[in-house]
Amino acid sequence: MKHFLYLNWQSARQALVKILRQPFGSLLTLLMLSIALALPLSLYLTVSSIQEWAGRLTATPQITLFMEQSAEEADLAAVSSTLTKHPRIQSYSFVGKKQALSDLEKRNGLPGLSDGLTDNPLPDAFVVTPKTLEPHELEMLQKELSGLPMVETAQFDARWAKRLYGMVEMGKQLTWFLGAALGIALVLVTHNAVRMQILARRDEIEVAKLIGAPDSFIRRPFMYHAMWQGLLAGLAAWGLTSWLVITANPAIHEFAQLYNEAVQLRGLSPVELLVVLAISALLAMLGARLASDHHLRQIQPR
């Protein structure tokens, strides 16, 4: 076991030394890999920055329940207990008709407005904060709440929230699509790189096979080569996106200021960076594995 680890450590080190010794040979592959990674990453960062900003903007969409004028204390208590127990409601607040009227007076600078009215025309209201942000679910909730006894209407301005949500959703889909397509490209690029290496070292592989090397022994240096390439490409892609964030942010900030908004393109978090490195290393190793499985079989003896 100790020896097995030692052998792997040796292969890993030798593979890295080989890459560092011929930086220009590996540079082209590395560049291709890192651009393939940087594209979906930048899109991901853009979308998640927009989402972050949108989340701050809407804070949380609220549904307002207006009660009928004839609603009594008991009806209010019934609605209030339903809202308390509802699994998809995070919180709610009650705005009574008297409070609503005094708010109106204050806000519009019309003190004494209520004195002129014989009856308070404003209804009691509940302001509900749902747990979900998803438009379809919000709509369902709105319908459900408007069906409660003595509730006149449940108001919710869904249209613009829906549009924003749709856009963010589309961006997410695009990120997934680009990520998957360029992930496949990453596998293919390493596949090709390893194929070339195997063909270049044909004699060596043949001799190793003749004197009893199992496929795992022959494959090992290629796997480590791919792993390092994946990791380096991941780091380079991180560098590219960081550069994008740093150079683009002042312009974005200036543009957003025109609309009195604070929008910022964010960089990768440490956890995200680790995930990106792991994925790119794994995809590169997958490419190496596929290439070696295919091409080692073609070298005699089998």
Partner 1 sequence: MQRMIQFDQVTKRYPGGNEALKNLSFTIDTGEMAFLAGHSGAGKSTLLKLVAGIERASSGSVIVSGQNLSKLRSSQIPYVRQHIGMVFQDHKLLFDRSVFDNVMLPLDIIGFDRRDAARRVRAALDKVGLLSKEKSMPIRLSGGEQQRLCIARAVVHRPSLLLADEPSANLDRAYALDIMELFKSFHQVGVTVVISAHDETLMEDYGRRIIRLKEGQFAA
- Positions touching partner 1 (CB under 8 A) are 3-4, 6-7, 203-204, 206-215, 217, 300-302
Specify the DSSP element, H or E, that contains 302: none
Nearer to partner 1 by Cβ, of 73 and 203: the residue is: 203
Nearer to partner 1 by Cβ, of 13 and 163: the residue is: 13
What is the distance between the alpha carbons of residues 35 and 234, in angstroms, rounded to a whole number? Answer: 10
CA distances from 235 to 41, 89, 268 (A): 12, 43, 11
What is the distance between the alpha carbons of residues 57 and 53, in angstroms, rounded to a whole number? Answer: 6
Nearer to partner 1 by Cβ, of 18 and 253: the residue is: 18
Nearer to partner 1 by Cβ, of 77 and 196: the residue is: 196
Give the nearest distance from C-beta 27 to partner 1 in angstroms.
Answer: 23
Give the nearest distance from C-beta 207 to partner 1 in angstroms.
Answer: 5
Tokens describing residue 246: 């740093």
Give the nearest distance from C-beta 212 to partner 1 in angstroms.
Answer: 3
Give the nearest distance from C-beta 14 to partner 1 in angstroms.
Answer: 11
CA distances from 59 to 51, 55, 56, 106, 253 (A): 11, 6, 5, 25, 21
Say how many CA atoms lie within 13 Å of 253 toward its Cβ.
8
Nearer to partner 1 by Cβ, of 141 and 218: the residue is: 218
Give the nearest distance from C-beta 211 to partner 1 in angstroms.
Answer: 5
